[in-house]
Amino acid sequence: MANLTIQPKTLSSSQGGETLPIVLRDDAGFDEAVWGRVFNCRRDKTRVPRAVIRASTAAHVRDAVEFARREGCRVSVRSGGHSWAAWSVRQDAVLIDLEGLKGGSSGDGLGGVSYDDASKIVSCPPSVIGRDLNGFLKEKGRMFAGGHCPDVGLGGFLLQGGMGWNCKNWGWACESIIGIDVVTAEAKEIHCSMAENSDLFWAARGAGPGFPGVVTRFYLLTRPLPEMYNCIYVYPDSEFRTVLQWVVDTCPTADPDTEIVCVARRAPDGNGCHIIAGYTTFQPDKAHAEKALQSVHDSRPLNAIKEVFCEPTSLHQEYTSQEEANPQSHRYCSENSYVANDADVPAVLEKAFTTLPSQKAFALYYAMNPTSRRQGPDMALSMQSDHYFALYTVWEDAADDARCTAWVHDIMRDVERHSVGSYLGDADFQHRRTRFWSQEAGSRLAGIRRKWDPDGRICGYLDAEDKSGVDGLKNEFEWKAT
């Protein structure tokens, strides 16, 4: 591999002659700069960026894009580093790491975050994680329905749509975006909203890593912070079909402030799986919570191993549980599908929920009805169904890579036949083509990408051999007809 030689003038930032914070291939700490913030320990180290720029200002981002333009290479972007496929690490690209990006002031402890009491709008850089943002907003009596995993950065999460807290009722997190600051592929700083650069704003709500620019700031609507309560029911896997059908049946008429999931995890002794139905309700107090959850509790199937009714919880407690379910320093393979509304969902998902290949793996059913049935805002996000299914296969030993990934791909070949498409966030474009947008939205997004980034400066979608370029993903099924 040829060494990269850059003259000192190349490293000059346009911000008052400041040196651009760049780490080159031959510099000490380059590997840590590339991989240190990548959550998934299953890493393709054949992908070697040309340089890493640790941006702390929007001017750094602008100059990094201009640097890549002069070098004739692409730009990749990292917000939180939680992409399962490590989309930010691309061969011979300039990786812009936004961890240190600020550009604003909270005045009380969370750098780069600002809150307006009158409008209830919070603004923040893309690298802010959900746990920190909601810790900040708690003092305001507000919350943002961001990702369930506490260390997911807002940038990737929001660009792909944002399947956040109580998404089935409150809608997608990206619907709360009212504005973004962007550095374009031509290294220009602009603002986007419904009224200004509206096509790029449309794309920001659902384009995912194919967004043709670098977001440096989000402006987000917040919501009141309620109390939270859980109902949890644990069953043996022999009851899977009964339990999942019950979960599916309760969705359309459940309380509109109640999130509904069904999860499969290996039993603690490793023998078989446990099926866990969870109902988390957001209410003003326990009396309202009990009323919201009572009909669910009364209709529960028999033979539960464990039952919890209306137990108080909080975002902090839920983040802690999610952190335990998604441990650091592990290897991951994730995939997902929107199962068709008319499918026999328990039959389609039974193998996935009862044959987990590792002790820490889990399968997830996330109820999306009624959000999936409504006419949503005009935005790139356009693929959904009543039934969201995802696999999070978690293991520690590299020797298990082939076995665990093969299990995921085998499951998805079967599920795809009953699928209408997938969600960008839990997908790996290198292994499976499918639909991520409606045909109309996919075509419109491709046009916006060509307009704003005709040279393919922003890396976009990491498909097989990273060849998607300006054209982007094909937005078509690969396995459905086989």
Q: Give pLDDT tens digits for 153-198.
A: 999 999 999 999 999 999 999 999 999 999 999 999 999 999 999 9
Instruction: Tell me, yes or no, whether 163 lies in a domain.
Output: yes
Q: How far apart are CA 275 and CA 364, in angstroms?
A: 10
Q: Which pLDDT belongs to residue 109? A: 54
Instruction: Tell me, yes or no, whether 412 lies in a domain.
Output: yes
Instruction: Tell me, yes or no, whether 107 lies in a domain.
Output: no
Sequence-distant (≥ 6) Cβ neighbours of residue 93 within 8 angstroms: 49, 50, 68, 73, 74, 75, 76, 459
Single residue among 198, 224, 250 that ends a domain in this structure: 224
- Single out the residue of 368, 323, 461 nearest to residue 163, CA to CA: 368
Instruction: Tell me, yes or no, whether 276 lies in a domain.
Output: yes
Q: Which pLDDT belongs to residue 7? A: 37
Judgement on whether residues 262 and 359 belong to the same structural domain of the protein: yes
List, for the chain, all residue ranges whose pLDDT scores fall below the cut of 50: 1-10, 12-17, 106-107
Q: How far apart are CA 455 and CA 288, in angstroms?
A: 55
Domain total of the chain: 4
C-beta of residue 2 within 8 angstroms of C-beta of residue 22? no
**Burial tier of 249 (Cβ tally within 10 Å: 0-12, 13-18, 19+):** exposed
Judgement on whether residues 155 and 286 belong to the same structural domain of the protein: no
Residue 55's domain comprises: 8-97
Q: Which pLDDT belongs to residue 3? A: 34
Instruction: Tell me, yes or no, whether 195 lies in a domain.
Output: yes
Cα angle: 62, vertex 222, 170; to 5 degrees: 110
Instruction: Tell me, yes or no, whether 79 lies in a domain.
Output: yes
Residue with structure tokens 């045909």? 439
C-beta of residue 317 within 8 angstroms of C-beta of residue 232? no
Judgement on whether residues 235 and 332 belong to the same structural domain of the protein: yes
Judgement on whether residues 128 and 261 belong to the same structural domain of the protein: no
Judgement on whether residues 86 and 149 belong to the same structural domain of the protein: no
Q: Which pLDDT belongs to residue 12? A: 43
Single residue among 224, 255, 285 that ends a domain in this structure: 224
Q: Which pLDDT belongs to residue 102? A: 81
C-beta of residue 421 within 8 angstroms of C-beta of residue 388? no
Per the structure block, which two tokens stand in for 106?
């909270």
Q: Which pLDDT belongs to residue 234? A: 98
C-beta of residue 102 within 8 angstroms of C-beta of residue 197? no
Single residue among 174, 208, 224 that ends a domain in this structure: 224
Q: How far apart are CA 165 and CA 144, in angstroms?
A: 8
Helix (H/G/I), strand (E/B), else coil: 139: coil
Judgement on whether residues 119 and 206 belong to the same structural domain of the protein: yes
Q: What CATH number corresponds to the domain at position 308?
A: 3.40.462.20
Judgement on whether residues 209 and 268 belong to the same structural domain of the protein: no
Per the structure block, which two tokens stand in for 58?
């929007």
Judgement on whether residues 82 and 133 belong to the same structural domain of the protein: no
Compute the Cα dihedral for 51, 55, 60, 61 and give only its sign.
positive
Judgement on whether residues 355 and 460 belong to the same structural domain of the protein: no
Judgement on whether residues 286 and 413 belong to the same structural domain of the protein: yes
Name the pairing type of β-strands 331-339 and 419-421. antiparallel
Judgement on whether residues 21 and 78 belong to the same structural domain of the protein: yes
Q: Which pLDDT belongs to residue 104? A: 54
Sequence-distant (≥ 6) Cβ neighbours of residue 449 within 8 angstroms: 203, 207, 210, 212, 460, 470, 472
Q: What CATH number corresponds to the domain at position 44?
A: 3.30.465.10
Instruction: Tell me, yes or no, whether 298 lies in a domain.
Output: yes
Judgement on whether residues 269 and 396 belong to the same structural domain of the protein: yes
Beta bridge partners of 179: 219
Instruction: Tell me, yes or no, whether 105 lies in a domain.
Output: no
DSSP 470: G
